[in-house]
Amino acid sequence: MLFIIIHISSFPQSKISSFENLSAPEKFWVIFHPFKAKKAFYISNDAVKTTDSICKVNVLDNDKNGGQADAFKHSFWIARLTQDLNRRAAIKLGKAHEKGNYKDFKKGKLEDGYYPDMASSEMDLYNNEIGANIGAENLDKERRTLIEILIKEIQVGKMKILKKDKLDNFLTCKGVVIPKDSLVGKWENEKCLISSNSN
């Protein structure tokens, strides 16, 4: 675990995202939380960088689209927001982000290269709640300790991921492959949420 921490700490900090790049629900969150916004943007950027670092050391499945890495990114983001802001503000920003994803879906826009959908949103909101709880229970813990706690929670199945096969195809709860073209343009689909330690 020490290697992970050293590797993560070596990342330079990225620039804060601009207000114009936010979705309308996220902009409303910023307007109502002006003194928390700069810190929230810093934490949001750091969550992406930290997830990239975690993927390089192979402690999770490295799947940023419905896998363990995706679960880590959301739970770490909300846990850090809870530590530095408060639980309520963190959860509200997480919900604003998902509302923004729905608006992007209606416009045909991608999120991180993928089409947003209801199953992915439900997964993110579930993992956000776990992250908020862990952040609230560990307000004074250092960043590296928080990372270790979240990784362990994912490894023991406390979070949710989307069911896939080894070829990265999404599966129904019965294990049937969902054709990729059938997912395009559909908010509701047959993707299946499973425990984060499922194979």
Query: What total of structural domains would you count in the chain?
Result: 1
Please give the Cα distance from 172 to 190 (Å, whole number).
5
Is residue 165 included in any domain, yes or no? no
pLDDT at position 84: 95
Is residue 17 included in any domain, yes or no? yes
* Gyration radius of the chain over CA positions: 16
pLDDT digits (tens, 9 = 90+) for 163-199: 999 999 999 999 999 999 898 889 999 999 999 998 6
Is residue 79 included in any domain, yes or no? yes
- Measured CA to CA in angstroms, residue 179 lies from 63, 110, 142, 171 at distances of 19, 18, 43, 9
The DSSP 8-state label assigned to residue 195 in this structure reads: E
pLDDT digits (tens, 9 = 90+) for 101-120: 888 888 888 776 778 899 99
- Is the pLDDT at 70 greater than 80, yes or no? yes
Is residue 145 included in any domain, yes or no? yes
Containing structural domain, residue 131: 2-159
pLDDT digits (tens, 9 = 90+) for 23-35: 777 887 888 778 8
Region 72-89: what's the mean pLDDT?
96
pLDDT at position 108: 82
Is residue 106 included in any domain, yes or no? yes
Cβ(116)–Cβ(105) below 8 Å: yes
